[in-house]
Amino acid sequence: MSLIEITEVRKSYGTNEVLKGINLDVEPGEVIAIIGKSGSGKSTLLRCINGLETITQGSISVAGAQLIDDEVHLKALRLKVGMIFQQFNLFPHLTAGGNVMLSQSVVKKTAKAEAEAMARKMLDRVGLGHKFEAYPDELSGGQQQRVAIARALAMQPIALLCDEITSALDPELVAEVLAVVRELAAEGMTLLMVTHEMKFARDVCSRVVFMHQGRVHEIGPPEEVFANPKTPELQQFLGMH
Amino acid sequence: MIEFSIWDILRNLLLATRWTILLSLVSFVGGGAVGLLLLFLRISKRKAVRAFAKYYIELFQGTPLLMQLFLAFFGLGLFGIDVPAWLAAGLALVLWTASFLAEIWRGCVESIARGQWEASASLGMGRLQQMRYVILPQALKIAVPPTVGFSVQVVKGTALTSIIGFVELSKAGTVVTNATFQPFTVYGLVALIYFALCWPLSKSSQILERKLNVAHRNH
Ligand SMILES: Nc1ncnc2c1ncn2[C@@H]1O[C@H](COP(=O)(O)OP(=O)(O)OP(=O)(O)O)[C@@H](O)[C@H]1O
Ligand SMILES: [Mg+2]
């Protein structure tokens, strides 16, 4: 059984069908890069896996748990899958430490001391142990994104969804975030990431998914997909990058 | 005829001012509580619940407060319920205040970036937890100046309750005028007292707003 099973998933906004039957099985420890043109449905797919969007048809299961649209099932699913956003979305009224502690205390009812220890550990892990007391607006974009990663990790998810997590960063800050992701991949975290960092995808990912017009147009190991694209759409897409 | 000194007049008016202040406080606190409830209904996931709150707000904002006072005072009387003026006044003002505060606060909640909802949802928080720990702490800061500003409207709104016979500052003004035949002096003093109540409120609303604009930091 795969860790994440996406079966015939369709998603429409009104009459606009954005996902047109997606099938994708992700094994534990896999690192999957999702690439494709703007509007091809990459974000929508990730958001569906996390239950931020409700799917119109098909099924998604994570570690055997079905995605069902009610608060209990969604919560169970979200404890297994963390999500990192392009815009970081840190809570501005809390310190870095507070950001990492909040959901542990509120959702998991972890005791304060324990949540704080976990927060320090996770902030250390992304190289920001010394920024525990800093507020988000006192941090650089790269640091904010690393706090967001620590915040997701503190919930001990079995997979992470990353939606263009370096796209809002100044170029010189991209590397520090990718280094953290690279480390997570090396430690065996299952990752699904929408990315424009082709070099990163080539180096780190086990498989690359090329999405086109709401479908998985091509899929395979990076060597194959990048060196030997089969469809003209992917050839054209890679030509531009 | 008895002569009334200005101090006699002022003393009587100030005694009645207590009722204006009390009624304002009750309306504001009660209206705040009902308004918070309405806010939750207004942004509920259920369409019917949202619609209910929306129509409530439109109804109370779309009719004169005076009519609401009349309806509370005379309307309940039709059912054989004897409503004292203070109760009708309090009830109508609470419901009226709630409709405005709920709408002010809804605007504040909606001004919080969607990403805050999404991030907290992706961490497994339920809707109430999101509100309690993520959205309201941020919305509250934005909400303070307009909320304090609106309290001025509440204070002035209490003047209308004199029409259904509740003896607060305005009503006392009429009573004292009838006894002294010095309408200009009396109403001049009444106006001054209202000003003394309202001005600090609107001024602090302005100061709070400026402070929040200057503070770039969100904490
Ligand atoms: N909330 C929404 N309501 C209506 N349409 C939407 C919504 N979200 C996305 N869409 C539409 O769905 C399509 C796919 O959007 P999506 O964000 O998944 O694309 P993407 O591949 O992530 O693109 P990008 O590279 O620009 O982020 C687009 O045509 C978009 O207009
Ligand atoms: Mg996108």
Q: Is A63 left (phi over 0), alpha (psi -120 to 50) or beta?
A: left
pTM of the predicted model, to two decimals?
0.88
Sign of CA dihedral A90, A27, A44, A105: negative
Q: Are residues A115 and A184 in the same domain?
A: no
For B167-218, write each residue's pLDDT tens digit: 899 999 999 999 899 999 999 999 999 999 999 999 999 898 888 776 655 5
Indicate whether this complex's ipTM tops 0.85: yes
Please tell me the predicted confidence (pLDDT) of residue B81: 81
For A210-238, write each residue's pLDDT tens digit: 999 999 999 999 999 999 999 999 999 99
CATH number, domain with residue A227: 3.40.50.300
- Enter the DSSP assignment of B133: I
Among A43, A48, A52, name the best residue to mutate to test ligand 1's pocket (greatest count of ligand atoms within 8 A of Cβ): A43
Query: Per the structure, how many domains does chain B have?
Result: 1
* Cβ of A91 below 6 Å from ligand 1: no
From A124, A156, A188, give the residue that closes a domain: A156
Rounded (to 5) percent helix, strand, coil in chain A? 40, 25, 35
Q: Residue A158: what residue type?
A: I
The set of residues, in sequence order, having a beta carbon less than 8 Å from that of A33 and lying 6+ positions away, is A193, A194, A195, A200, A201, A204, A205, A207, A208, A209, A222
List of chain B residues whose C-beta atoms are within 8 Å of the C-beta of residue A51: 121
Distance CA A234, CA A109 (A): 47
**Candidates A51, A85, A135; nearest CB to B219:** A135
Flag whether A51 is in a domain.
yes
Q: How many CB atoms lie within 10 A of CB B175?
A: 16
- The residue range of the domain holding A225 is 1-80+159-166+176-241
Nearest residue (by CA) to ligand 1, atom 18, is: A41
The residue that leads in pLDDT, A65 or B45, is: B45
Flag whether B164 is in a domain.
yes
* Cβ of A43 below 6 Å from ligand 1: yes
**What is the spatial order of strands in the sheet that A207-212 belongs to?**
A81-84, A159-163, A190-194, A31-36, A207-212, A215-220
Query: Per the structure, how many domains does chain A have?
Result: 2
- The residue range of the domain holding B113 is 6-212
